[in-house]
């Protein structure tokens, strides 16, 4: 499959998430993780992420979503089941806004993903990095500040209303900062 070999003119390059907290756009790293990028964008394209929640939020660490069960134990890749890691020595969890596959061990990637809230070098070589926040980092930061229960689940659900892939940078009106002005209170 062409999308799995690297970016082409028809490859999805960005995915926009519209959430209950605001909108953000991720840029995909096809050169380093073509299967993970295709999986993520194809799941978004078929509506798989719509209606899901960010089920795990750990302040000053990461936010995690992509599980249709909302438990952290569900989800399946576009390939059916799990698929192998695409670890790149060139990519590290060097700061906030890194997009990685969540897993339960080597080669167990499915639909779940996480976005870092700070540098997390202990995750290097354990999780496939396949993108970064392109716009809406303020939304990600607000998500990271929500009140959570003892299992790190947000007390008020953070819901994905719609996830949509793009071929190229989304039009300016689709990444408007107005989407990012939704305020939530951490309590």
Catalytic residues: 56, 61, 64, 103, 114, 123, 127
CB 163 within 8 A of CB 40: no
Please state, in angstroms and rounded to a whole number, the distance separating the CA atoms of residues 21 and 61.
18
Beta bridge partners of 65: 113
C-alpha 134: how far from chain center: 12
Half-sphere exposure of 56 (CA within 13 A, CB side): 19
Distance CA 71, CA 55 (A): 7
Which of 152, 146, 185 shows the shortest CA–CA distance to 71? 152
CB 30 within 8 A of CB 80: no
């Amino acid at each position: 499959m062409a999308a799995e070999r690297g970016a082409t003119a028809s490859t999805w390059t960005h995915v926009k998430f519209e959430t209950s907290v605001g909108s953000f756009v991720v840029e995909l790293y096809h050169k380093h993780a073509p299967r993970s990028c295709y999986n993520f964008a194809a799941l978004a394209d078929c509506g798989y992420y719509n209606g899901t929640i960010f089920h795990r939020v750990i302040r000053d660490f990461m936010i995690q979503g992509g599980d249709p069960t909302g438990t952290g134990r569900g989800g399946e890749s576009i390939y059916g089941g799990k698929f192998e890691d695409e670890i790149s020595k060139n990519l590290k969890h060097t700061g906030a806004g890194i997009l990685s596959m969540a897993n339960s061990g080597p080669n167990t990637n499915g639909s779940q993903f996480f976005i870092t809230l700070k540098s997390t070098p202990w995750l290097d070589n354990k999780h496939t990095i396949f993108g970064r926040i392109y716009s809406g980092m303020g939304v990600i930061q607000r998500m990271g500040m929500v009140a959570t229960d003892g299992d790190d689940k947000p007390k008020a659900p953070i819901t994905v209303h719609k996830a949509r892939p793009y071929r190229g940078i989304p039009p300016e009106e689709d990444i408007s900062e107005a989407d990012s002005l939704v305020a939530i209170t951490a309590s």
